[in-house]
A = this chain, B = another copy of it.
Amino acid sequence: MKSVQAFAPATVANVSCGFDILGFAIEGMGDRVTLREKETPGLVVSSIQGDGGKLPKDPIKNTCSVAIQALLDELGQNVGMEICLEKGLPLGSGMGSSAASAVAALVAANHLLGNPFEKKDLLPFAMAAEKAACGAGHADNVGPSLLGGFVLIRDYHPLDVIKLHVPKDLYCTLLHPHFELNTADSRSVLRDSIPLKHATIQSGNVAGLVAGLYEEDFDLISRSLRDVIAEPYRAVLIPGFYEVREAIKGAGALGMGISGSGPTLFCLSKGKEKAAKIAEAAKEVYQSIGLGVDVYFSAINTAGGYVLEG
């Protein structure tokens, strides 16, 4: 029987001024899914590693099987598959953990079936899995995890996903404090309506960020990395936010923001050296406030999910 292993990267959604419309993928960190064809139809989640026993194996609830089932339903096929998930990402951290699992599962399944879909066309299936996992079929994690790079979700009706240009030297440092933040809490602090003035500021910054990516203008990227919509309300829920922001500026970061709905923070920088310095500077701050943290830095992943073996 055939077997395929695929990988999909961690992602940062929102990206400050890109609230609810932008996300990008991180090189190196991510989830692996191994699929084995089986003779009897139906999906079975046979093993999950690295989740501390927290994720469901029930195929109706598991992100991987929900995603693959959506794909099989579209094809009208009922192929039997055994799913092994290796979590490389912490759960509920704001690094697109469920998205990476769903994308890795879909990339593997599509390969196993002889690639009936273009990569981009796997997105709705991944969104169906996000809906099952998080209650909303957002694309700002699954989009970049699937396609790589910086991804703009221009619209959902119909879905319009655009891969933006990314300067080669752009690096990301991720700071994952050992602290749980409930996504619902993080969402509930947002206002349903906002001042028109704030909407205009946010628009100006997101336009500046996109232009900065295309122009490879790191100063412009830096000036544009501001969020007046979500960050002012969410930052107060994240211990050390303002102290870390001060410290990473001194280490040469272009800017910092909340990854997804937190508590992980992301910093962008020009070049690997600065990304490493930022990681060190942030670690010191977390140490000083007595909070454990995992730090990680890498280039922007531009490939998205891909097949490792099979």
Give CA–CA (A154, B162) in the complex, Å.
Answer: 22
The interface residues of chain B lying within 8 Å CB-to-CB of A153 are 204
For the complex with contacts A152-B207, A206-B206, A210-B210, 5 further pairs of A-B residues with Cβ separation under 8 Å are A155-B208, A164-B211, A193-B194, A199-B229, A203-B206
The interface residues of chain B lying within 8 Å CB-to-CB of A191 are 196
In chain A, positions 35-77 with a C-beta closer than 8 Å to chain B are: none
A residues with a Cβ closer than 8 A to B are: 17-22, 152-155, 160, 162, 164-165, 190-196, 198-211, 214, 220, 223-224, 229
The interface residues of chain B lying within 8 Å CB-to-CB of A194 are 193-194, 196, 199
- Beyond A164-B211, A214-B214, whether A154 also contacts B21 by CB under 8 A is no
- Nearest CB on B from A264, distance (A): 22
The interface residues of chain B lying within 8 Å CB-to-CB of A19 are 200, 203
8 cross-chain CB contacts under 8 A: A21-B204, A153-B204, A154-B220, A154-B224, A160-B223, A162-B220, A192-B195, A199-B202
The interface residues of chain B lying within 8 Å CB-to-CB of A154 are 204-205, 207-208, 220, 223-224
Q: In the complex, are the beta carbons of A207 and B22 less than 8 A apart?
A: yes
The interface residues of chain B lying within 8 Å CB-to-CB of A220 are 154, 162
Q: In the complex, are the beta carbons of B192 and A229 less than 8 A apart?
A: no
The interface residues of chain B lying within 8 Å CB-to-CB of A211 are 152, 162, 164, 210, 214
Q: In the complex, are the beta carbons of A21 and B203 less than 8 A apart?
A: yes
Please name the residue on chain B nearest to A20 by beta carbon: B200
Indicate the member of A194, A196, A206 with the most B CB atoms within 10 Å. Answer: A196
- Beyond A194-B194, A207-B154, whether A200 also contacts B160 by CB under 8 A is no
Please name the residue on chain B nearest to A155 by beta carbon: B204
- Nearest CB on B from A97, distance (A): 23
The interface residues of chain B lying within 8 Å CB-to-CB of A17 are 203
Give CA–CA (A208, B161) in the complex, Å.
Answer: 9
- Nearest CB on B from A219, distance (A): 10
The interface residues of chain B lying within 8 Å CB-to-CB of A196 are 190-194, 229
Give CA–CA (A229, B201) in the complex, Å.
Answer: 13
Please name the residue on chain B nearest to A190 by beta carbon: B196
Q: In the complex, are the beta carbons of A21 and B200 less than 8 A apart?
A: yes
Please name the residue on chain B nearest to A199 by beta carbon: B199
The interface residues of chain B lying within 8 Å CB-to-CB of A192 are 195-196
Q: In the complex, are the beta carbons of B160 and A207 less than 8 A apart?
A: no
Please name the residue on chain B nearest to A202 by beta carbon: B203
Please name the residue on chain B nearest to A21 by beta carbon: B204
Q: In the complex, are the beta carbons of A208 and B165 less than 8 A apart?
A: no
- Nearest CB on B from A147, distance (A): 14
- Nearest CB on B from A296, distance (A): 27
- Nearest CB on B from A148, distance (A): 16
Give CA–CA (A256, B193) in the complex, Å.
Answer: 27
- Nearest CB on B from A254, distance (A): 15
Please name the residue on chain B nearest to A228 by beta carbon: B199
Q: In the complex, are the beta carbons of A208 and B18 less than 8 A apart?
A: no
